[in-house]
Structure 1
Amino acid sequence: MNMYKFIVVVFVASVFTCCNDFLEEPPSKTSSVVPETVEDLESLLNNYNFFAAEPSQEQVFGTDDYGLFTELYDSRPGLFHIFQLQYATWERKDVANGKIAYWESEWKKIFTANLVLFYLPRVSGSEDRKQQLKAEARFIRVYSYFQLANVYCLPYTEANWEEPGLPIKETTGFEEPVARATLKETWDFIDANLTEALTLTTSLEEVNNKKRTWRASQAAVYAFAARYYLVLYDYARAQQYAEKALGIYNRLRNYNTEMRYSDIVYEVTIFDPDTTTIRLKYPYTHSFVAGTAPTDLLEWGEFYYLRYSDDISDNFPSRELLALYDHTYDLRYKYHIVEHYSYHRGFIDPPYSYPGYVFFDFSKIPNGPSVPEMILTKAECQIRQGAWQEGIQTLNELREARMNADAPAGVKYLSAASQQEAVVKLTEERRREMPFVTRWFDVRRYNNNDDPSDDVVMTRTFYPYNASTILDHESPVHYTLEKHSRKFACPIPNADIMASNGVLKQNEY
């Protein structure tokens, strides 16, 4: 099947060099090297660009964080593509006929992890280091399985356990079954791999004064475990692992002193009807471009494990998301919400001004386990378990680093009069801190926990369309993703189903 039939061996050009060399020069690929030593496998796992990128259009376009509305489209119809609308309106039929980049990219990472596990007994090197690489490969595999399960399968609930999960691939051999296991079998496989990944003791050490976040570490596995148990509604263990990760590393960037606008001048000319030049303000992180300067992303300093959404430049925040920020005092709004971003995307004649969300480059938003995520996870676990006052205090540790130091105390710090109000404050803060990339996972779990107060029914109003054309001459229609819709399992590629001779089954809607 296509998801597993790609190059049998992928190695970076630095296969016989150390990590320091990797940091100094972006890697390139070759398929001509067979691993003979532990160092060869180390270099394979150093392929920073390969592991970090997550081209998940399903997550970015598929939630209420993304702004899709007719006025934006009317101003520049050519910018909007059918596939974009299909994800944004939860169409689940025609999208399966196209290329589904996220499905493919995560299976390649799983294959690479299995490749390392295959060669470990066959290469020279110390047994201690082999055991660490084994745990790291398990982590890579469990991470991608977790991501895939949360996009292409129905949410984790006992009622869904017999629903389709994922194919279980433990080797590089094509003889393994490609049929989808049940959802329960998939999550049992994830759990078993996490148990082995938790044996990793590698530190979040510095190389060339950069945290080694392009590779797995004990802190990264702890942080992932916190994310995993949050999805399983095991708040006690999620809090335990969040605190373990924070106990190893807890640095937050203070946006008051460590954030600034880019020194690069960005200007765009609009016509209204006179010619006017507008200067756009981007955060300085906008110039962090993966592949050309890999150390830049590592300098951010809040990651445990580097992952980011990729290849999606139209990060237009919804009006609902924009309204959650304090536009005067929230420094996340100041630096990441770029006013007039639509001008940079060509909305200039006639001009239509609308902001965009920018973090790294045009299209990269952090998605890997991070210090702010662990603070939010700890806070949520405290609130869900009844210690909501302590949870609010934990949230305010994050806000201390994100809100303007001059903000009035009543604006800077959150407060709540009840557990239910604290839940609302928590869910809003998660959206402000991690828009686009975690909202899909959050909505899935909110709609299936035992608290109906945080349920989310997502809706949009937009033009009708078919497989090839947006019918913008017709009246807009309403699109809805109900809380228990089967559409929460995104379709897998029909091409892979055909390649498996029908053994691999599509999701049913």
Structure 2
Amino acid sequence: MASNRLRPIPLALKQPYNNDMKTITKSTIHAAMVCTGIVLLFSIISCKKYLEEKPDLSIATPSTMSDIEGILNNYNFMNARYPSASEVSADNFYLLTADFNALNDRQRNFYLRQKFDDIGGDYSALYTTIEYANIILETLEKISGDETQKAQYRAEARFVRASCHYALAQLFAAPYNNNDSALGIALRLTANINERPTRATVNETYQAILDDLQAAAKALPSSLALRFRPNRAAAFGLLSRVFLTMQNFEQAEKYADSCLSISGTLLDYNNLNANATVPIAQFNEEILYDARSSPPAALATSRAKIDTLLYASYQSNDLRQTVYFRTNTNGSRSFKGNYTGLNNASIFSGVATDEVYLNGAEAAVRNGHQAKALSLINALMAKRWKTGTFQPYQTTDAATLLTEILKERRKELLFRSLRWADLRRLNQEAGRSQVLTREINGQTYTLEPQSPRYVFAIDRAAVEISGLPQNP
């Protein structure tokens, strides 16, 4: 059935944004997020105390360096609000009809890749985090403190803002292809809640992301002592991801190199307990920057079944087959290899060294550096297979090597909200585009490579209140 004849599932009432972190009960910072069209009441815990209530309830700001530190340490708001819609829409899993029917309308529409505008927290939540980052940046211009420390805090805020803008662009902006006229996202570069948002172009969106990350990298610390706080290796790693998305392979390779020169550590999966419920720990040595989504209902381990062809692509000595998956009673598989360290459906949304190895390998082979690409992919795979069983890739044919690297990328980085971005960029290449299909209730739903449904609709509240143009 042609995809343009499909009808969206009827919309349910809007659901509140849910987060699995402990609820914070004392509200101390209030901000009206015009960009999302929703008035958000949010709270921040300082390292030592709650921030004091400010007299202006329209936008209350921290007033000391300790307050800034408290905001940056607030994992709940700075790290745990990333979207999961793209992973629900990707092709790593399938749902049985009964499990699909148990979902709410929003999750069903994500799963069937339908165009609709009840997005909820997958649109609005990151704009809350961006508002925090902007408050930090503007507060630092007004308060006194050690200038070196202020530079670091400023860099951390710009990293967070860039990471959030990038995540939003993968859902709500057209895929990057150097088209100035294509719609990007509403960039929020100020804490002024009265500033009416407008949508930037795709090029303007990515330039703002790059500006923030490149500036941040100069002042971020090299230390990875707190893996939920931004650092220089994470900035370089995220830059390699952004440039790969932009298909600027020269810069993607450069920043992957810069990242791995600081921290290139890989987990040896031979040392993990593959039979454990949660085999991979949070804040493990591969984590450069820890972040995650709330757990989407569609990806609950009791529901989401791993694509059978994807599972079959892992060979018997590939430890990912047992580290990543558990076998269900009906013979299907579910995913357990999440880098969040949690036994739930939360999506790891941060930066880890295994991704950077793959970014560097892909960029290197596309740049004609086959020997380097081989070195990177073989180093990663040696840590994923049973000791002594991995046969290194040896081909020097660029096309063959690229195909193998992309296969390993799919197998390594599932359930990290990266597959959707990969599909969007690879769909622009001859011979690498894919038609995705799902079957539910006897009906087949198809997503063509150039479908406008690769760009999600903006949440209706943002459109109705702020006047932002909706995606087609």
**What runs of 5+ residues in structure 2 fail to find an aligned partner?**
1-33, 55-60
- Work out the CA distance in 1 between the residues paired with 2:80 and 2:289: 12
- Work out the CA distance in 2 between the residues paired with 1:6 and 1:440: 30
Task: Give the length in aligned residue pairs.
Answer: 423
Match of 2:327 among 332, 339, 364: 339
Match for 2:47: what amino acid? S
Alignment of 1:460-479 (within 5 A): 460=438, 462-463=439-440, 472=441, 476-479=442-445
Cα deviation digits, residues 135-167 of structure 1 (max 9, x gap): 2111111111111111111101123x2122122
Match of 1:32 among 46, 53, 56: 53
Name 2:471's counterpart in structure 1: 507
Name 1:290's counterpart in structure 2: none
- Work out the CA distance in 2 between the residues paired with 1:31 and 1:457: 54
2:357 equivalent to 1:357: no
Match of 1:323 among 294, 312, 315: 312
Alignment of 1:287-302 (within 5 A): 297-298=282-283, 300-302=284-286
Match for 1:438: what amino acid? L
- Work out the CA distance in 1 between the residues paired with 2:51 and 2:115: 37
- The 1:37–1:15 alpha-carbon spacing in structure 2 relative to 1, beyond 3 Å, is same
- Work out the CA distance in 2 between the residues paired with 1:354 and 1:31: 52
Report the TM-score when normalising by structure 1.
Answer: 0.78
Match for 1:14: what amino acid? C
Cα deviation digits, residues 22-68 of structure 1 (max 9, x gap): xxxxxxx7673652321210111111132222453321111111224
Kindly state the Cα deviation for residue 494 of structure 1 after the two structures are TM-superposed: 0.7
- The 1:10–1:80 alpha-carbon spacing in structure 2 relative to 1, beyond 3 Å, is closer
Residues 307, 367 of structure 1: 8 Å contact kept: yes
Residues 159, 213 of structure 2: 8 Å contact kept: yes
Residues 15, 40 of structure 1: 8 Å contact kept: no
Name 1:445's counterpart in structure 2: 425
RMSD, aligned α-carbons: 2.3
Match of 1:381 among 346, 363, 368: 363
Kindly state the Cα deviation for residue 302 of structure 1 after the two structures are TM-superposed: 0.8
Instruction: Give SS of 2:218's match.
Output: coil
- The 1:365–1:330 alpha-carbon spacing in structure 2 relative to 1, beyond 3 Å, is farther
Residues 204, 213 of structure 1: 8 Å contact kept: no
- The 1:433–1:417 alpha-carbon spacing in structure 2 relative to 1, beyond 3 Å, is same
Q: What is the percent sequence identity of the aligned residues?
A: 25
Name 1:73's counterpart in structure 2: 97
Kindly state the Cα deviation for residue 487 of structure 1 after the two structures are TM-superposed: 1.3
2:405 equivalent to 1:426: yes
Match of 1:459 among 437, 448, 458: 437
- Work out the CA distance in 2 between the residues paired with 1:31 and 1:156: 43
- Work out the CA distance in 2 between the residues paired with 1:330 and 1:52: 31
- Work out the CA distance in 2 between the residues paired with 1:45 and 1:187: 24
- Work out the CA distance in 2 between the residues paired with 1:392 and 1:223: 19
Instruction: Give the ranges of 4+ consecutive aligned residues of structure 1 lying more than 4 Å apart after TM superposition.
Output: 4-9
Residues 46, 67 of structure 2: 8 Å contact kept: no
CA radius of gyration, larger in: 1
- Work out the CA distance in 2 between the residues paired with 1:10 and 1:364: 22
- Work out the CA distance in 1 between the residues paired with 2:212 and 2:458: 23
Name 1:197's counterpart in structure 2: 216
2:58 equivalent to 1:63: no
Cα deviation digits, residues 368-418 of structure 1 (max 9, x gap): 1111011111110111112234313321111111111153x44xx334362
2:291 equivalent to 1:307: yes
Cα deviation digits, residues 225-280 of structure 1 (max 9, x gap): 11111112121211111111111111111011234433xxxxxxxxxxxxxxxxxx
Residues 283, 336 of structure 1: 8 Å contact kept: no
Alignment of 1:81-480 (within 5 A): 81-93=104-116, 96=117, 98-159=118-179, 161-206=180-225, 212-262=226-276, 282-285=277-280, 297-298=282-283, 300-312=284-296, 313=300, 314-326=303-315, 328-340=316-328, 352-358=330-336, 359=338, 360-407=342-389, 409-410=390-391, 413-416=392-395, 418-436=397-415, 437-448=417-428, 451-460=429-438, 462-463=439-440, 472=441, 476-480=442-446
- Work out the CA distance in 1 between the residues paired with 2:175 and 2:52: 38
Match for 2:192: what amino acid? G
2:69 equivalent to 1:42: yes
Match for 1:504: what amino acid? L
Instruction: Give SS of 1:505's match.
Output: coil
- The 1:486–1:31 alpha-carbon spacing in structure 2 relative to 1, beyond 3 Å, is farther
Kindly state the Cα deviation for residue 78 of structure 1 after the two structures are TM-superposed: 4.8
- Work out the CA distance in 2 between the residues paired with 1:318 and 1:9: 39
Instruction: Give SS of 2:288's match.
Output: coil
- The 1:214–1:88 alpha-carbon spacing in structure 2 relative to 1, beyond 3 Å, is same
Residues 492, 507 of structure 1: 8 Å contact kept: yes
- Work out the CA distance in 2 between the residues paired with 1:41 and 1:101: 25
- The 1:507–1:56 alpha-carbon spacing in structure 2 relative to 1, beyond 3 Å, is same
Instruction: Give SS of 1:453's match.
Output: coil
- Further displaced range: 56-65 or 148-157: 56-65
- Work out the CA distance in 1 between the residues paired with 2:322 and 2:161: 37
Residues 65, 320 of structure 1: 8 Å contact kept: no
Residues 47, 69 of structure 2: 8 Å contact kept: no
- The 1:13–1:38 alpha-carbon spacing in structure 2 relative to 1, beyond 3 Å, is closer
Cα deviation digits, residues 56-94 of structure 1 (max 9, x gap): 3321111111224xxx225x565344333311221103x
Residues 163, 183 of structure 1: 8 Å contact kept: yes
Residues 36, 124 of structure 1: 8 Å contact kept: no
